[in-house]
Amino acid sequence: MPEGTRNRIFFLGDTPERLAAALRRGEERTSKASLRRMRKLAEKIKDDSVINAPVDTHALEEAHHIVEQKVAGRISSTIEVGGVISTAHGPKDVTDYAAEIHENYDYDYTPGPGTLAKQAANPGHRVGGKFLERAIDDNMKEADAMLNAIMNEIVDEWEQG
């Protein structure tokens, strides 16, 4: 073992410094690609949730939005339904309405003409309650594929060093 290398691990014959530099380069490229993928998937889930949401005044559709936050150096995306929207009568907070319809629509409400028309126009979706939850479930396979692709990029970058 070379002098001064005790308790060090070498990968593919690289020095620890070269390995660290390769990982930093790979992390930067992978982080940018991962962020693009995350944003694209969040947008797809949001769009599917909008399609799944029942229609009365279109308040639920308008109340969908994506919130990005940076926490501990990482960016996270959250899809939210609620908040204040613009209506013909001024701003209105639809947070409680969105939660009520999401959780109880299938039990306590009867689909109106807008919901029935939307369902007819979107045969691949079920328009009704749990609209966001179902959109997430419907995209889990894509989310798993995205995570696998990110992990493969990290491994490929590391191997190319």
Q: What is the pLDDT of residues 112-131, one digit of tens each?
A: 999 999 999 999 999 999 99
CA–CA dist 17, 15 (Å, integer): 5
Mean pLDDT of 133-138: 94
* C-alpha closest to that of 46 among 72, 68, 78: 78
Q: What is the pLDDT of residues 55-114, one digit of tens each?
A: 999 999 999 999 998 888 778 889 999 999 998 889 999 999 999 999 999 999 999 999
Q: What is the pLDDT of residues 26-64, one digit of tens each?
A: 566 667 778 888 899 999 999 999 999 999 999 999 999
Helix (H, G, I), strand (E, B) or coil at 130: coil
DSSP 58: S
Q: Using 50, 70 and 90 to split pLDDT, how confident is the model at 20?
A: low
pLDDT on residue 87 = 87
